[in-house]
Structure 1
Amino acid sequence: MSPTSPSLPAAAPATAAPSSRRWWTLVTVALAQLMVVLDSTVVNIALPSAQADLGFTNADRQWIVTAYSLAFGSLLLFGGRLSDLIGRKRAFIIGLIGFAGASALGGAAGTFGMLVGARALQGAFGALLAPTALAVLTTTFTVPKERARAFGIFGAIAGAGGAVGLLLGGLLTEKLDWRWNLYINVVIALIAVAGAMVFVSSVPRTGPRPKLDVPGTILVSAALFSLVYGFSNAESDGWDSPSCWGFLAAAGVLLVAFVLWQRRASHPLLPLHIVLHRNRGASYSAVLIAGAGMFGIFLFVTYYLQTTLRFTPIQTGLGFLPMIVMLVLAAQLSTNIFVPQFGPKVMVPIGMTIAAGGMVYLTHLGVHANYAVDLLPPLMILGTGMGSIMPAAIQTATLGVDRQYAGVASAMVNTSQQVGGSIGTALLNTLAATAATDYVASHLPPSPQVLAEAAVHSYATAYWWGAGFFAFGAVLTGLLYRRRVATAAVVAGPGDTGAAAEPEPAVAH
């Protein structure tokens, strides 16, 4: 939302959903977003049971996660643009039905290959669904105060979905069967489809039918695939493997080619002014850095709880519950009180700083710990930090964008989070593994006690680096976000005008 609560453009009321329906639209969109976000973690807890059932190897296990992230990450910008071209309501329903079908296929999988294929299909339809959901929200809520509430809820879901996935995955795996981690999406999707058909408005197209930038789509999809795949290989094969640096180098070349093509394309997939606008660029950076830092929380705290403190999957999920509560509370306070008062230039760096403090707090954990004394405070601090970052960054990232580019601008939010998660996965895992190896080498012979201490030491290393990510994010976003000035609002920039676009605040550089 705009920090100065700009007035609504004259054309907006004609396209906004009726007041009695827009909040049901939010419920529908929130269900879809929750389904996509939690699916990146809900399956993780089910992996041991699925492996025992289907008989695949430890080396193959990573593909259950990687197949989803590769399809999701590489097709996000295409999915966002497709929603702009075919209409957001139609794209939203197609994405929901496709995601549900892929989930049912995965739940019924009798072989490893079938499960991997279903996960890839989930990622592909998720790449259409996730940016479309955010675009629906962006074009439905144009009144500043309502927009703040809606994005507060959406941002809380985006930040807490991973932890919710851990809790739900533990419950479903222990009480039912690993397959229900996939079947549950069918239930959620059916409810969301019914809501979409009733509450999501179809907006008639005005002007000529837009065209798809096919070369740009191929270039950016290949670049994002190479980027995510390269980081995935870094996690499993090491940074010096050709399968890592070869794909990362290819990603760099393809991204440069994509940018050069966007500068001359008559119908660009991603108009560069969307990402080069300072506030939006700062927001995309904030989401990317928060995604990288958050990975350290979910992955290593989960390892710590289950392997060091011997928590069950359900206990592990419940252990994250206070963090979720604080995240939701902070998100609502931030979007309804603090962001209107201080703007994202203050709130996002403060959230980054708080999250960095929570990560540093986690570094003191030892082989033995008391949850209430040692884990509860830092998790609540981290929830507060993420609740201050995500809603402010997400709503600023989509503010003032022309309606015809709402889908692809929203896709950039999801792309930033996905790339951040991939970087966090590879980098923090590699650093943690190296720290564990060095610790064992300096504490020979490797007794069970030494191995337990090495694991905790490796987690602490990941937390320190996660704190560094957040600290860097605090400095970067503090420099990039524009300062608020209580003057009349101005429109964002070239191409950012349109019926649904909200003007952005006048700023001083």
Structure 2
Amino acid sequence: MSAEADLRRRWLAVAVLAAAQVMIILDQNIVTVALPAIREDLGFSQSQLVWTVNAYVIPFGGLLLLAGRLGDLISRKKVFLAGLALFTIASAAVGFADTQALLLGARFVQGVGGAVASAGLLGMIVMLLPEPDQQAKGIGAFGFASAGGGALGSVIGGVLTEAVGWEAIFFINLPIGLAVALLAWRLLENDRGIGLAAGADILGAVLVTGGIMLAVYTLIEIEHHGWNSPSTLGTGLAAAALLAGFLLRQAKAAAPLVPLRILLSRTVAGANLAQALMVGAAFGFMYFTVLYLQQVLDFAPMAAGLAFLPAPLVIAAVSMWVAPRLLARFAPRALAITGLAIMVVGFVLFAQMRADGSYLVDVLPGMITTPLGFGLTMPALMTLGMAGSKPEDAGVTSGLFNTAQQVGGAVGLAVLSTAVSSRTASLLDGGAAQAEALAGGFRVGYGIAAGFVALALVIAVTVMRSRAESAEPAPVPVA
């Protein structure tokens, strides 16, 4: 095969992997707009309904790190295809679900499949594109897939739910999943992992998977039980104990699940922490803006979904075309700092929303500014988060980055939801009208989200180093 044909194959493979990421990430948010229809059809109570989302998020966040390492040990291609098959089959089961138990069980399996399929995708893209300029474009495409997939979920979910029915948001994964699997089978080269004996840290895998899943469960239940409840404190302490045990295990294990040199890298640790804070704020942006559009501005589901369309369009344009060109000229740390500063401005704009507001004045400015900053920042953080990744560790480093994203989203949404609910209830008790109380609560949420991003900006300035500034080696490609 000529060099030109080989490069074309690699880019097609990157496009297929990005499409898989869009489908998987989309399913975290696509269900949000459809929740009222699911509740009506299957008889969920309001407190039970949240598990339609949580049943997916808990296994997804908990298994990413283990799934990424399995790709390094066994085969990234085989692990990806196995996870994709499980995700696609589970999607069909969700669409056919006619009871609460079947829907929640299928959503859990869907989350498992999503984690297994997506954990090593970033590492695979980095390995496919060894040249810095190509790698920047590939990371930009994956950045859009990760960020744009979440934003597209609200758009597609609203349109399909109102036009066809909530089942369609899951059935759509069948043709997409099958097409992605067939193309990936043809385009991705067969790879062999380094072998289970090189890193089959079973105890470490049990500790980190249990710890992360329990931590995510604790965080998403805070809104119902409160921060100081025995349930929250008990599960939170148990999660902390498991994760502490995992770190001790990694320090002593002959073949650790995650080498400590990855966890102790300033660049990698800073990028993961900044990303967790940024994604926590972004989860609040998507969640509260949908509620504001529907509950305050009285938008129908389809209209609320279409109102989100500027977000994925801006993210696509910035992350796929603007960010790669800037990364070719400037250090990724500088781009991350710029993007985070723009995001702060976006959340400050959202924090001005009014009960008698309008889409053009109260939503659209932030709907453009916040994704603009996100589209600049995510590719830069991905570049820094994979800094120093060796071929044998690319999957677990990718899984670590995705784990930080999921845990950051869970933490952010728990904190923001609690603050918004508390402020809304306080305003209602004080005699405020429903719309004014909701808008007041959302303003507090957006203000805290701005604080999250500001803290990420501080980390980018003080902790992270660009690859050029560090002694860490650039990723080494694997054919």
TM-score with structure 2 setting the length: 0.95
Shift of 1:373: 2.9
- In the TM superposition, residue 250 of structure 1 has moved relative to its aligned partner by 1.4
Partner of 2:179 in structure 1? 191
**1:339 lines up with 2:327 in the alignment:** yes
Q: Counterpart of 1:54?
A: 42
Query: Which position in structure 1 is the counterpart of 2:435?
Result: 452
Alignment of 1:323-362 (within 5 A): 323-362=311-350
Superposition misfits of 4+ residues, deviation over 6 angstroms: 13-17
Residues 277 and 452 of structure 2 are in contact (CA less than 8 Å); yes or no, is this contact kept in structure 1?
Answer: yes
Aligned to 1:291: 279
1:162 CA drift (Å)? 1.4
- Larger displacement relative to structure 2 (378-387 or 456-465): 378-387
Over residues 145-192 of structure 1, what are the superposed CA-to-partner deviations in whole Å (9 max), with x where a residue is unaligned?
Answer: 111111111101211211100111111111111111111111211010
* Cα drift, residue 333 of structure 1: 4.7
- Matched AA of 2:247: V
Q: Which residue of 1 aligns with 2:136?
A: 148
The equivalences for 1:115-264 within 5 A come to 115-205=103-193, 210-264=198-252
1:68 equivalent to 2:45? Answer no
Distance change >3 Å, CA 366–CA 108, structure 1 → 2: same
1:340 CA drift (Å): 2.7
Please list the CA deviations of residues 398-449 of structure 1 after superposition, one character each: whole Å capped at 9, or x if unmatched: 233111111111011110110011011110010011111222233x3x5xxx
User: 1:468-507 to 2 correspondence within 5 Å?
Assistant: 468-482=451-465, 490-492=471-473, 500=478
CA spacing shift, 1:384–1:336, aligned 2, 3 Å: same
Closer, same or farther: CA 485–109 of 1 in aligned 2, 3 Å: closer
Q: 1:128 to 1:262 in 2, by over 3 A?
A: same
Whole-angstrom distance in 1 between the partners of 2:47 and 2:278: 29
Give me the whole-angstrom Cα distance separating, in 2, the residues matched to 1:137 and 1:105: 30
Distance in structure 1 (CA, Å) of the matches to 2:2 and 2:456: 39
CA RMSD of aligned residues (A): 2.2
Contact 2:294-2:304 within 8 A present in 1 as well: yes
Deviation at 1:208, TM superposition (A): 8.5
Counterpart position of 2:388: 400
- Pair 35,332 (structure 1): closer, same or farther in 2 beyond 3 Å: closer
Report if aligned partners of 1:330, 1:388 keep a CA contact under 8 Å in 2: yes
Name the structure 2 match of 1:82: 70
Q: CA deviation at 1:266?
A: 1.0
Where does residue 445 of structure 2 map in the other structure?
A: 462
- Of stretches 50-59 and 252-261 in structure 1, the one that deviates more from structure 2 is 50-59
* Displacement after TM superposition at 1:342 (Å): 2.3
- Tell me how far 1:396 sits from its aligned partner: 2.1
> Structure 2 counterpart of 1:99, which letter?
F
Letter in 1 for 2:39: Q
Tell whether the 8 Å contact from 2:420 to 2:445 is kept in structure 1 after alignment.
yes
Structure 1 stretch displaced more, 245-254 or 98-107? 245-254
Q: What is the DSSP-based 3-state SS (H/G/I as helix, E as strand, rest coil) of the residue aligned with 1:369?
A: coil
Distance in 2 between the 1:21 and 1:407 partners? 21
Change in 2 beyond 3 A, CA 1:97/1:200: same
- SS for the counterpart of 1:18 is helix
Q: Which amino acid aligns with 1:39?
A: D
- Quick check: 1:366 aligned with 2:349? no
Counterparts of 1:372-451 in structure 2, within 5 Å, are 372-442=360-430, 444=431, 450-451=433-434
Structure 1 Cα separation of the partners of residues 196 and 96 of structure 2 = 44
Classify the secondary structure of the residue corresponding to 1:187: helix
Q: Is residue 331–residue 468 contact of structure 2 (8 Å, CA) maintained in 1? A: no
Percent identical:
34
Q: Between Structure 1 and Structure 2, how many residues are aligned?
A: 479
Deviates further, 205-214 or 26-35:
205-214
Q: Secondary structure at the match of 2:120?
A: helix
- Tell me the CA shift for residue 485 of structure 1: 5.6
Q: Is the 8 A contact 2:333 2:380 kept in 1?
A: no
Aligned residue in 1 for 2:294: 306
Counterpart amino acid of 2:262? I
Cα distance change of structure 1 residues 17 and 241 upon mapping to structure 2, 3 Å threshold: farther
Compared with structure 1, are the counterparts of its residues 16 and 428 closer, same or farther at alpha carbon in structure 2 (3 Å cutoff)? farther
Q: Secondary structure at the match of 2:258?
A: coil
Matched position secondary structure for 2:119: helix
Deviation at 1:234, TM superposition (A): 0.2
What per-residue deviation string (whole Å, max 9, x for no partner) do you get for residues 108-146 of structure 1?
112100110000001111111111222221211111111
Given the superposition, is the C-alpha separation of residues 431 and 17 from structure 1 closer, same or farther in structure 2, using an over 3 Å criterion? Answer: farther
Report the CA distance between 1:349 and its aligned residue: 1.7
After TM superposition, the structure 1 stretch with the greater mean CA deviation from structure 2, 321-330 or 31-40, is 321-330
Q: Secondary structure at the match of 1:399?
A: coil
Change (3 A) 1:499 1:31: closer
Counterpart of 2:452 in 1: which secondary structure? helix
Question: Aligned equivalents of 2:256 and 2:384: distance in 1?
Answer: 22
Identify the match of residue 97 of structure 2 among 109, 113, 123.
109
Answer whether contact 1:15 1:203 (CA < 8 A) is retained.
no
56 and 92 in structure 1: CA distance in 2 versus 1, 3 angstrom threshold: same
Q: What is the CA distance between 1:395 and its match in structure 2?
A: 2.3
Pair 1:36–1:357, CA change in 2 (3 A): same
How far the C-alpha of 1:18 sits from its partner, in A, is 1.7
| 1:230–1:484 Cα change, 3 Å | closer
SS in 2 for 1:249: helix
Q: Take 2:78 and 2:195, find their aligned partners in 1: how far apart are those partners? A: 19
- Find the aligned partners of 2:8 and 2:296 in 1 and give their Cα distance: 50
